Amino acid sequence: MAHDVMPFLQPAPQVLTCGPWQLADTEGTGELPALLPDWDPQADLALSRHVTVDHPRALADCRLPPDTPLALVVDWHSSAAHYTGSAFRRLVVDATTLTVQIKLSGTDLGGTLVIHTRLVLADDVSRPEAAPPFTPLHAGEILCEQSTEVRLEGSASRFPISVIDFPLHGFDEDARWVLGLPEDPAVPVTGGIRLYLNRTDTELVTAATRAAAPTSMQRRLLETMYDDVARQLVEACLRPAWRDAVTDAADEPGSLAESLTVLVSNLFHGASLQTVATWREAEPSVFAAALQGALRRQHQKRRETP
């Protein structure tokens, strides 16, 4: 197996000892699994872990001066959202054990989440000309690291949300949200569909971040957005260009086609895509009213559910 070879000395792996990531949710705290099948993109991920750093040994192994500061940092990358960020940084100047606590916004995540816990050089080494050969010299150079991967898979009614600058992406600056759909409905739902929110719409962005416990006004705003999204999804899977593809891929677990088939079935009492499409073509106004009523009943049912 190939390994990266760093251009400077690295300490023994025991210098950085990490406990398992712990996930806090409404049911308590438990070890972070490799798969979160019920991940909610509208909720944050609150994680913690215990980390021990053997600062003296790290300096000795890397031939660094005894007063060299190191930093413990936590970085992350989300595959579906293509976002990368830094969640934690703490200066380390002696042997230490600490609890790392981070919170990642669900709107930035999707697909596979990779979390890196790293011990890095905090500052450039003074008088680098006097340093021994192969000594790390520059701030940010990674001495050792530990990585954790977790797959995030939302349920059929949830999908990734991104907050972006609309004009920079070619969208009308006054639009509130845009639904991004793939060309092929057979793709996984978490990687194939995304809802974009306008960064300047602070009212909507705030409502989305509080989706787990919104105010009554925020709930109405979110329901309006979800109704529009559901309407777009239904219209998309009823188009002739998509209808057959959705039907063919409806049995693919985790696919967008599966989610769309479930959505239509739930809204129209188990009716098939072909039946609903025929109804829509024959009586478009009646169908539009029926869809509106079905979505309204879903909201009412959610409010009544404890």
pLDDT band at residue 267 under the 50/70/90 scheme? confident
- pLDDT of 41-84, one tens digit each? 667 889 999 999 999 999 998 888 888 899 999 999 876 555 68
Per DSSP, 64 falls in state -
At 173-201, the pLDDT tens digits run 999 999 998 888 887 766 678 889 999 99
Mean pLDDT of 88-107: 91
**Residue that terminates a domain, selected from 152, 167, 190:** 152
Give the pairing type, strands 70-78 and 111-121: antiparallel
216 domain-assigned: yes
Asked if residue 22 and residue 139 are part of one domain, the reply reads yes
Question: Do 62 and 135 share a structural domain?
Answer: yes
115 and 238 in a common domain: no
d(C-alpha 22, C-alpha 96), whole Å: 20
Q: Residue 67's domain spans which residues?
A: 13-152
- Asked if 196 contacts 171 with a C-beta cutoff of 8 angstroms, the reply is yes
Q: Which two tokens stand for residue 86?
A: 């830094």
Q: Name the one residue in this structure whose structure tokens are 């539009």.
A: 288
| DSSP assignment of 141-189 | -EEEEEEEEEEE---TT---EEEE-TGGGTS-TT--EEEE--S-TTSBH
| Burial of 116: CB neighbours in 10 Å, binned 0-12, 13-18, 19+ | middle
Residues 23 and 139 occupy one common structural domain: yes
- pLDDT for residue 152 is more than 90: no
Same domain, 31 and 115: yes
Place of tokens 């309006």: 224
Q: Does a structural domain hold residue 245? A: yes
**106 plus 30 within the same structural domain:** yes
Q: Examine residue 175 and state whether it is found in any structural domain, yes or no.
A: no
Residue 174: per-residue pLDDT: 96
Same domain, yes or no: 216 and 139: no
185 found inside a domain: no
Are residues 130 and 206 both part of a single domain?
A: no
Give 243-259 pLDDT, tens digit per residue: 888 888 887 766 788 87
pLDDT value at 40 more than 90 = no
Domain boundary among 152, 173, 193: 152
Are 145 and 17 found together in one domain?
yes
Sequence-distant (≥ 6) Cβ neighbours of residue 81 within 8 angstroms: 108, 109, 110, 111, 160, 162, 194
Judging by beta carbons within 10 Å of its beta carbon (0-12, 13-18, 19+), is residue 2 exposed, middle or buried?
A: exposed
* Number of structural domains the chain divides into: 2
- Over residues 250-272, the mean pLDDT reads 81
Same domain, 98 and 208: no
Does residue 188 fall inside a structural domain?
Answer: no
DSSP 99-145: EEEEEE-GGG--EEEEEEEEEEE-SPPSSGGGSPTT---STT-EEEE
Residues 213 and 147 in one domain: no
18 falls within a domain: yes
On whether residue 30 sits in a domain, the answer given is yes
Q: For the domain that residue 127 is a member of, what is the CATH number?
A: 2.60.40
Question: Would residue 181 count as lying in a domain?
Answer: no
Report pLDDT for 129. 66
Q: Poorest-confidence range of 33-47, 84-98, 215-229?
A: 33-47
- pLDDT by residue (tens digit) across 280-303? 999 999 999 999 998 888 777 666
DSSP 229-273: HHHHHHHHHHSHHHHHHHHHTTTSTTBHHHHHHHHHHHHTTT--H
